[in-house]
Amino acid sequence: MPERESGNETHKVRSVRITAESAEEERNNPHVTHIMRTNIPQVSPTDSIGLAAHLMVKHQVPGVPVVENGTLIGIITESDIIAREADVDVPTPVPFLDAIFMADAGPEFDEEMRRVLAVNARQLMTSPVFSVRSTATLTEVATLMVDRGVNPIPVLNDELQVIGLVSRADLVRVISALENQES
C-alpha cells in the first residue's frame, strides 16, 4: 500500500486503526448480545402465574418478560414467584373498647399482600422493569445487576422489542471462561 497522504488513503488507515481499536475493546468488554439467551418465552399481562412459572422451568430461565402489544411492561422472576408463596406476617388485631383495630403494617405488608393475591402476570410482575439495549457492554449489565439488585435483565433492540435475556448465571459463565483462559 503506497504511503501517500491523500485524503482517501489516510482515511483508510484511520478506519483500519479505529476498527482494530473497536475489535480490541469488544474483546475486552463484549456486548450483551454475545452472551444473552435468545428465543426466550414471554407472557402477556393476562397470563396465569402458573404459566409464567412453567415457562421458567421449561426454558431454564430465571424470569420471563411481560409483553403487551410488543412492548415490555414488566418481568416476573423466580423471586416474585417465591415471594408469593412465602409466609405473610399479618398485623395483630388489637381489641380496644368495643372495636378491633389493625395496626398499620406499612408498605412491606401491602407489597406482600399484593403478591399473595396476584392471579395473573400483571398483578405479580415487577414494573417498571430494568432493561438494556443490545449495545450494552457486559460491564454495564453487571453494574446494573449489582447496583439495582436485578436478575435477569431483558435485552431490547432499537425498536424496544425484547430480543433476549441475560442473567447472573450468564455473566458467571463468561467470567469463568475468561479466568480459565488467563490461567
Q: Would you kindly state where each structural domain of the chain is located, as residue ranges?
A: 30-182
CB atoms within 10 A of CB 112: 18
CB-CB contact of 65 with 77 (8 Å) = no
Residue carrying C-alpha cell 436478575 = 151
Here the cell at position 26 is 469488544
Q: Which of 128, 22, 25, 116 is nearest to 73 (CA)?
A: 128
C-alpha cell, 183 = 490461567
Q: How far apart are the first and last CA of the chain?
A: 39
Average pLDDT over residues 97-116: 59
The CATH number given to 30-182 is: 3.10.580.10
**For residue 67, what pLDDT band results from cuts at 50, 70 and 90?**
very high
Q: How confident is the model at residue 14 (pLDDT cuts 50, 70, 90)?
A: very low
* pLDDT(2) > 60: no
How many whole angstroms separate alpha carbon 9 and alpha carbon 76? Answer: 53
Helix (H) or strand (E) holding 56: helix 49-59
